[in-house]
Structure 1
């Protein structure tokens, strides 16, 4: 049941993002760039060095403050399907599949399409790619704050300071090393989300 719910949630979020990208493309695109390229889904060389470097930095920047917040009880995601599946079944195949759906589709794919694909391409219609990258990184950081309003200013501040440099680095990779493809950043984002989610589950007693 958790797998079905997670699949529905993931695909619904992906559909909403794809529709939003389509609308933004219709309104703002100044050239005839194909839709899949507009959202960053195009072939590019896999940049293993950049993936390893950014992933390692991502994990350090994300896991250390998040672990401190979870350890101190200042933040939790007990309502998440990943946590519910873990509490019900432990770290079994079903739980791992729920984590993969959440990490690979619902978070990393949809967020990379929206921010490093659609929004980055939208903003660079009006300014330089570098400034467009700052804007998408700021919006990415801002998007993560509303979910933390119940936990106070400290978790919100840490989340903002944590997500902005990550989003900026991912945008830099898309612009400078991936020819505006999100394939490398999708790999980074998905891998780190899987690892971090499993790490977060360690704070919940089965």
Structure 2
């Protein structure tokens, strides 16, 4: 829980400084990041793509874990065999520590700034590649290059879809990607809690 509480301010420092010097007179920090109720367009497509994003987070990464990665290297390993006592820590890990902090940085800050500079398509590609590379960097010293590349591409593609969902189907709200990211991480933690894979 302490890690979860500390990580959000850590991931918010650069966005806050940027906002303070460039946009604080125009809009609140929360609005600038996209903290508002999603304005959902094309509801059928929205829900289908949300499920696809969750599947893209879980299925390829769990397949890689099953075939190529020692699961003890993953953050979700901290919940192994905790059973029901691990549910609250897993929720705080999934919703606050990883979901919120990473969405603030990648889709709330980076995507919105990069899209302003380079256009939405290029901005979304750039933020998703950074998202994938950060996830790959955590395992670079212990995995073969091709497995590392698959992890980077799988997480980058999920990051791209979440960015697209936020900006194109949710009216710029990061609540959509936060919910998807949190759910995917909670499912991964749940698999560790109950030793499903």
RMSD: 2.4
Matches within 5 A, 1:80-95: 80=75, 83-87=77-81, 90-93=82-85, 95=86
**TM-aligned CA deviation for residue 27 of structure 1:** 4.5
Matches within 5 A, 1:41-190: 41-45=35-39, 47-70=46-69, 73=70, 76-77=72-73, 80=75, 83-87=77-81, 90-93=82-85, 95-152=86-143, 153-190=145-182
Given that residues 40 and 180 in structure 1 are in contact (C-alpha distance below 8 angstroms), is that contact kept between their aligned partners in structure 2? yes
TM-score by length of 2: 0.84
Name the CA shift for 1:145/1:92 in 2 (closer, same or farther; >3 Å). Answer: same
Quick one: distance in 2 between partners of 1:34 and 1:42? Answer: 11
Gaps in structure 1 of 5+ consecutive residues: 1-6
Name the CA shift for 1:65/1:99 in 2 (closer, same or farther; >3 Å). Answer: same
Name the CA shift for 1:112/1:198 in 2 (closer, same or farther; >3 Å). Answer: same
Q: Deviations over 1:88-120 (max 9, x none)?
A: xx3122x11111111111001111111011111
Matches within 5 A, 1:2-21: 7-21=1-15
TM-score by length of 1: 0.81
Residue 26 of structure 2 is matched in structure 1 by: 32
Q: Any runs of at least 4 consecutive aligned residues in structure 1 with deviations exceeding 4 A, and if so which?
A: 27-31
